[in-house]
Amino acid sequence: MRILIRTSKWAIWARRLGSLALPMTIIPILLHREQLVSSSDFAVIEAVAAAIAALAVLLALGAFARLWMTGDRGWGRAVSGLLFGLICLAPFGWFGYQALHYPMVNEVTTDIAVPLALTSDAQVAPTSAAMRDKIAETFPNARTRSYPVDATEMFAIVENLVDARGWDVRVRRAPPTALDTGTINAIAMSLIGWRDEVAIRVAGTAQGSTIDMRSVPLVRFHDFGENGRRIEEFLLALDEKITLTLRDAPQAPAPTDTEAPPAPATEEDEAE
């Protein structure tokens, strides 16, 4: 008599759901980056994908227990469902960690007193004093910078750093003179397609220039630290660039006396 070995339905459904969750997680990211789906629709699709992936993981774990006890087939299907589900859930776990690690803010700026103007219609709620202290503690390098470089030269350096990051520049106003102010407004995109507006101000001073930045999420309720990290990274890169620029700048030669010093008087000259 032949013994019938069945294939676990739990394992079958674990792989099916895992195979469904994988494209539901990846394809919307590509569409979101190309702005083919709105951010609100993207969030809903990813939430559904996460629920399906979690169910695939639970079914896979249940399948392992049943396969161990019954001896049915389906280990490969259960492993596939588990791996697919974990791959889909990994980004959600990472963003969950970021949400706990970083404060829930709707902007990060180096100048609270005179906020930089935005070109988008992003709604920015006032930041409380307690939250400003939390932002300052979390992002200690997000501070106004002052450099002994005039505003026109500084604006060109800032402009190059912005272009190197591939930000979508919407406004670019160079300072007319070394004592004027220039601004750049650009849209920066995160890896999964979230967009933020970045504003940069270069203000000329008698000693050189000052740099301020503001980064605001366009639609998210939580930026997962993206805006604060962006400002810190940009300003630290600017620090390094200015350090190299000042180091490599040609030094003015020391003044020299072109006239030969008078020859000392001799005894014959004194006698005359």
In terms of Cα–Cα distance, which of 138, 70, 106 is closest to 218?
A: 106
Same domain, 148 and 177: yes
121 vs 268, which has greater pLDDT? 121
Asked if residue 53 is part of any domain, the answer here is yes
Same domain, 119 and 95: no
Domain end point (choices 86, 101, 116): 101
pLDDT tens digit sequence for 188-210: 999 899 999 999 999 999 999 99
Could you tell me whether strands 208-217 and 181-189 are parallel, antiparallel, or unpaired per DSSP bridges?
unpaired
Asked if residue 136 is part of any domain, the answer here is yes
pTM of the entire predicted model:
0.80
Same domain, 29 and 83: yes
Asked if residue 257 is part of any domain, the answer here is no
Quote the CA–CA distance of 53 and 41 in Å, as a whole number: 18
Domain end point (choices 44, 70, 101): 101
Same domain, 149 and 222: yes
Same domain, 158 and 198: yes
In terms of Cα–Cα distance, which of 96, 37, 91, 88 is closest to 219?
A: 37
Asked if residue 191 is part of any domain, the answer here is yes
Cα-only R_g, the chain: 31
Domain end point (choices 68, 101, 134): 101
260 vs 69, which has greater pLDDT? 69
- Is the backbone of residue 263 left (phi > 0), alpha (psi -120 to 50) or beta? beta
- Residue 105 CB-density burial (10 A; 0-12 exposed, 13-18 middle, 19+ buried): buried
Q: How far is CA 218 from the centre of its chain?
A: 14
pLDDT tens digit sequence for 152-161: 999 999 999 9
Q: How many domains does the chain have?
A: 2
Same domain, 14 and 55: yes
Asked if residue 259 is part of any domain, the answer here is no
Asked if residue 27 is part of any domain, the answer here is yes
Same domain, 57 and 87: yes
Asked if residue 271 is part of any domain, the answer here is no
Asked if residue 1 is part of any domain, the answer here is no
In sequence order, the β-bridge partners of residue 217 are: 196
Same domain, 185 and 151: yes
Question: Which CATH number goes with the domain that contains 202?
Answer: 3.30.310
In terms of Cα–Cα distance, which of 178, 200, 184, 183 is closest to 111?
A: 200
* Model confidence band, residue 1 (pLDDT cutoffs 50, 70, 90): very low
Contact 55, 17 (CB under 8 A): yes
Q: Mean pLDDT across the chain, nearest whole number? A: 87
pLDDT tens digit sequence for 82-119: 999 999 999 999 988 988 888 888 889 999 888 899 99
Same domain, 184 and 91: no
Same domain, 97 and 221: no
In terms of Cα–Cα distance, which of 91, 74, 90, 62 is closest to 194?
A: 91
Same domain, 243 and 127: yes
Quote the CA–CA distance of 233 and 250 in Å, as a whole number: 28
Same domain, 238 and 195: yes
What's the domain range around 72? 9-101
Quote the CA–CA distance of 213 and 120 in Å, as a whole number: 16
